[in-house]
A and B are shown apart, each in its own frame.
Chain A
Amino acid sequence: MADTNSGILKYIPGFVLCMIFGWMALQWDQSIHKWQKDYQASAKVLKAHADDGKPFLGFAEYKAESEEKYQEKVAAFERGEIKEKPKKPHLLQENDYQTLAATGKIPSKFAFGERMIEFQLTYVAVLLLGGMIIRNTIGLPKIFQPGTVLARPVIKPGIILLGGYYLWSNLLKVGVFALVLVLIFILGTTILVSFLGRRMKLDDGLMGVMAAGTGICGVSAAVAVAPVVNAKPRDFFYAVGTILLFGTAALFTFPYIGKALGMSEPVFGAWVGTAILNTAQLVAAATWYGHDSLLTANIINIVRVGFIPLVVIFCIWFYVIRQATAEGRHEKVNKWQVIKEKFPLFILGFFAMVTLNEFGVFTEDHRTIFGKQFLQIFFAVGFAGVGLNIAFDDLKKAGGKAFVIGFLAATIKAVLSAIVVILIGTEAFKVK
């Protein structure tokens, strides 16, 4: 019998589970979006009927009239009278139209779709909330666990494919602001946590991991820094617990806070890109909010993860070289080696996509396939992995002074960055 505890086999059950869960969530998403469009089309028909007071048109006339209006708009666009290219109108199906005409009421499933979209209960919410509920109620059998962990990075091909949506000019425009935000908030938090830790006479290892984790990129940075600052296992798990706890809280609350504060999609993208500490969580929160939000958050995230090697170098200097110099020893560090080892390779794929798009390799269809459709497939599998791995037991590992400093620093960063991105405004963060 094959040994399912080793090799690739152990990943299959969990990965397949994430694929099925992801597909179900996407099926849900497709349905509610279709119903929402049907709701809006129905409302339009009812409004037109109420305005002109005439009886409902037959289905064929309804179709012909919609097509005629669309052609008029296209002609106006071609004459330059309207700036935006008109989209083909969404038409009701014949039986739905007949029901609407007979009853004069919008079918309840359409209204349901409209409500679900209004409450942002899209595939992202289904996967994250649903996954979290499954994990913490009925539980996730051990056989599925390795595969669900493996599914999380499947978000990254989505991030790469999204590169096909940008031109270098978009990237540089938003990238300048991203760089400023990264330098001020992310490196600022790293330095602040380090100095606070020293003042509170906390262990160097713990503070090094917290500084990198809360500042730059959550668990990835904490993992990268842990060996160089000689972090103890207990400290590392405190730090990772705190980072995950803050990220989870932010993931579920920020989209609603953003709506409450009236943030536009690009502004929200800039905010989560700066304030949420983990790539998967920030991508999920931004996708939850909208596609434009994701476009902005992605740039900030790319700039941020590109800084991981620099943060590692800072931590080596702060915790190893400085200390060694103070003790009269001479420690050397091969900076190029650190950059080479810690550089997140996947962002090169993202830049390659931007370059291909710049050279006109992609058509509008390609952009739709890569940046919307396959992005959703990759994200759905990845978010299923994220949701199914939110275990309250892991979050409880957050503790001690690491929790106080980490949560405090992350909260201050979230509040200040919200104020700054709102003041900078939508235009600066708008990708197109």
Chain B
Amino acid sequence: MSKASELEARFGRACDLLMGELASGESLSVEFAGESSTFMRFNGAKVRQIGEVDKASVDFKYYRDGKTIASSVTLGGNEAEDIERSAHALTRARREAALLPEDPYQTLPSAAGQSKESFSGRLPDATRLPEEILAPADLLAKAGADYVGIHSQGPLCRGAANSSGARHWFATETFATDYSAYLPNGKAVKSCYAGRDWDGAEYRRRLEAEKPKLEALAKPEKILAPGEYRVYLAPDALNEFIGFFSWNGLSERDMREGESAWLALREGRKSLSPKFGLSQDFSLGVQPRFNELGEVAPETLSLIKGGKLVNTFVSARSAKQYGAVSNASPEGEYLRSGAIAGGDLAEEKILETLGTGLYVSNLHYLNWSDNDSARITGMTRFACVWVENGKIVAPIKDMRFDESLFNLWGDKLEAVTAKRSLVVETGSYFLRALEGSLLPGMLIEGFTFTL
């Protein structure tokens, strides 16, 4: 039995126990997340930490008599132990739900569809990872660079089911080598080789391709004064903004409760450039369409079109509370599989069109600095370079920016690249992430740097 199949069996056992023991008048929705991962962390092209994690759990919601309670069960793979843990959690949920006040916006799970998607991969032998991942970094060492990062691999699984008959399963086997190569001057290139089928030759080719970038970064740095600059944001840099459609973002609840930074867009007080578009697009194939209630979202959902807000994320709960129409968003009402619309700027014309300004490869540690004006602060990071007359001149000393998204993607948005890149999320808080976004690059006139 493959590891993904074994994780699916854990999901099935928990569902069978939880659904099978429900009494009349009780409802349940169950969400499963599991992984069997190998992690190798490295610094100086040497292994810092190496290990594996087998982790699976179901988070369920129990509904009875207008009461709702959430619970979680860790599933270790031992059949008897997992069944006992599930039974204990259901017992506790029944006991505690009775203590709660009625939930006025309770939405019982009603979706009944079923689906199953499974993608196998070809991954390196875990015990040979040090050789496979770190030996090729010798070519970077010869270029004077120090190799640091993490390689992770293994199956990732998600599932959802409910007491109305929905049952969904998504399994994929992936790897990600998320790395940086640092020069002695502190400048670095950053990239990630990710996918399902490991190709050692392709990995080495990618490392080889970093060498000319490192040569550019070895030059003396240029120190910019605070002010407004012409800027090109590469897809990896743009990816740092993706979370801001979720955090104080395009949630219907956040709009109603004054927490969204996009209220001015909703209310027509601000608009974005006609060049700006955003959608949720599950055709990217990186994550499943179902949510924790077993509801399946439409394959695509247009959110901002031609600079205007056309949809928000509406969960079943918000639909009931506010009289809106659900689009099968999770209760957290966040963006999944985001895609920013492409434009007409050709890849080979980026530097020429930028002319003189700043090529921003990556950004770091962004945060809302003023919610009402959708202003965000953050830092440049990694291979950001100064460009003059279409030629790379020097790396820059990192700068802090503080800029409203209504400016950045409004009047200041000059061009969007035609080519878009799939930027895979490599985060691993609690679990390895199963997300990604399809992103272009953007040319911005007058990007504001403050420090």
Q: Tell whether A and B belong to one assembly.
A: no
Binding site for B on A (CB under 8 A): none
